Structure 1
């Protein structure tokens, strides 16, 4: 289904675009409030923090290799976020979903917590910190219908704020926007991927040499590969490293370097089947 056009309003309570931001679709009652961890006290003083809410704690590792999220729901947002602020280290920002009419109930929140967690795991873009699969809560059909509409709105708002929790890195939308498949087939590597609006996606089962080159470039590649191996994204397969799932890199060069085990210019290394480079198709076209 083709997405419909939407008007999204983002309000800055303190006038700071990097501070607390409140996003809403102007014709709907759902709001998502983005709260930097450093401003948690200011948010907990706002009246919105007294509502039943669904929330997401999001963060990334120091090297940027792994985006993480924790999904929760509560009827006592001030106590719950205060506890998370004291006890959980990994997150930098909280995304809080509430109703402008204060009509979100605990039943809504329980179903949405479960549903969002399944959607995040299916997308595979963020690693969740929840630690269990959970079970589907009983939800009357009318409330479940409400929840699915709330989810649709929340998904759009959260992605607009810069957190595509529910969007697969190589999902239909990304592939439709990037129809060319690119290949990297040098030095024992056999990689496939797409260039998307978010970066370069290397597809599952792409593989490269296990050993890094004996150079400064190899040392840099080893540094990039190490956290991906530790997380299970890269698996040793004989004399190769193999991708166990689709993975989004912020740059084509980062993707090529991890695949090849050396410093690499991804704009040149990634090519179509007829040997056109990513550089010639994307950057040179823009320059021309």
Structure 2
């Protein structure tokens, strides 16, 4: 069973929508984040005069459903953020609504360190695919000794741990699940052993029988993952539903490709926020994922399976209190 971790959050001005700092025990990193509307207060903070990396996060003006993110580095972040705050035509960036700055409490991050971190973070964000990057192609930066590269690898893992807590998921990896049922059962066992159980669902199945569509999924660490090779309707038929934009995006990104038989096929595992958008993409229309997804071995709906898990957990907690 994995150990818990403590992250210390501090509301700088006492409000949940203002400036926020975050720290992890035994990590030298320091995170400062806030909305663009608080930029004048943020740049006055001592952290902004240090060497560090930063993330500008906002909504994509071209309509991509993922956040638009710019990853940068500077040895004087305040100056760089002031530049980014200028109008688009004067060298600034208009899209961002939130900024997150990561520096070091012991001031040991150098310009070489943050250039290396920037390069790796751009690569990781691109590989994960949870955001659209406003950066150009990342330049490989290898000008660090081996020991420093190891330290920066640890630093990045802490950044990837704390950012989702602050509502920024774009560096969070997606669990890869093989399409082999045997390997899925193995993954299920390994995750239950390493994470204390309850972190992964049994294999789920959804059928749209009139169209002979079959898809498979598992819920892992709070994400609903439709498995590679699953089928989806060949076109979106519910023109009034907003998930049509997600369907189009998945086609544009080649997550869904024509299979040659009138269907779309998932070319890789894809993580959804919940069962219903996953079911809608498979069906090509609005769908209730809590009912349409069923445990493959028993036919039990996802909703009934989840309710069973909650009831069992509550009963176990009640017995433990006695």
TM-score by length of 1: 0.86
Q: Deviations over 1:138-196 (max 9, x none)?
A: 10123223212322322222232232333322348x96321412122213323222224
**Are 2:274 and 1:251 equivalent residues in the alignment?**
yes
1:222 matched residue in structure 2 = 244
Give the root-mean-square deviation of aligned CA atoms: 2.6
- The separation in 2 between residues aligned to 1:224 and 1:124, in whole angstroms, is 14
- The separation in 1 between residues aligned to 2:84 and 2:267, in whole angstroms, is 31
- The separation in 2 between residues aligned to 1:226 and 1:210, in whole angstroms, is 11
Q: Which range moved further: 177-186 or 188-197? A: 188-197
Q: Which range moved further: 55-64 or 121-130? A: 55-64
Distance 1:223-1:117 versus aligned 2 partners, 3 A rule: closer
Alignment length (residue pairs):
283
2:76 matched residue in structure 1 = 76
Q: Which range moved further: 102-111 or 141-150? A: 141-150
1:157 matched residue in structure 2 = 162
Distance 1:145-1:225 versus aligned 2 partners, 3 A rule: closer
Deviation at 1:265, TM superposition (A): 0.7
Distance 1:90-1:231 versus aligned 2 partners, 3 A rule: farther
Deviation at 1:285, TM superposition (A): 4.4
Q: Any unmatched runs of 5+ in structure 1? A: none
Does the 8 Å CA contact 1:31/1:154 hold for their aligned counterparts?
Answer: no
- The separation in 1 between residues aligned to 2:160 and 2:206, in whole angstroms, is 33
- The separation in 1 between residues aligned to 2:51 and 2:102, in whole angstroms, is 9
Q: Which has the larger radius of gyration?
A: 2
Distance 1:251-1:223 versus aligned 2 partners, 3 A rule: same
Q: Any unmatched runs of 5+ in structure 2? A: 87-91, 178-186, 192-198, 313-322
- The separation in 1 between residues aligned to 2:57 and 2:212, in whole angstroms, is 36
Match of 1:141 among 130, 140, 146: 146
Does the 8 Å CA contact 2:176/2:269 hold for their aligned counterparts?
Answer: no
Does the 8 Å CA contact 1:212/1:219 hold for their aligned counterparts?
Answer: no
- The separation in 1 between residues aligned to 2:119 and 2:307, in whole angstroms, is 42
Deviation at 1:49, TM superposition (A): 0.7
Q: Which range moved further: 254-263 or 76-85? A: 76-85
Deviation at 1:259, TM superposition (A): 1.3
2:227 matched residue in structure 1 = 203
Q: Secondary structure at the match of 1:158?
A: helix
- The separation in 2 between residues aligned to 1:184 and 1:207, in whole angstroms, is 10
Does the 8 Å CA contact 2:255/2:266 hold for their aligned counterparts?
Answer: yes
2:131 matched residue in structure 1 = 126
- The separation in 2 between residues aligned to 1:178 and 1:60, in whole angstroms, is 31
Deviation at 1:30, TM superposition (A): 0.8
Distance 1:88-1:16 versus aligned 2 partners, 3 A rule: same
Does the 8 Å CA contact 2:201/2:220 hold for their aligned counterparts?
Answer: no
- The separation in 2 between residues aligned to 1:152 and 1:262, in whole angstroms, is 38
2:46 matched residue in structure 1 = 47
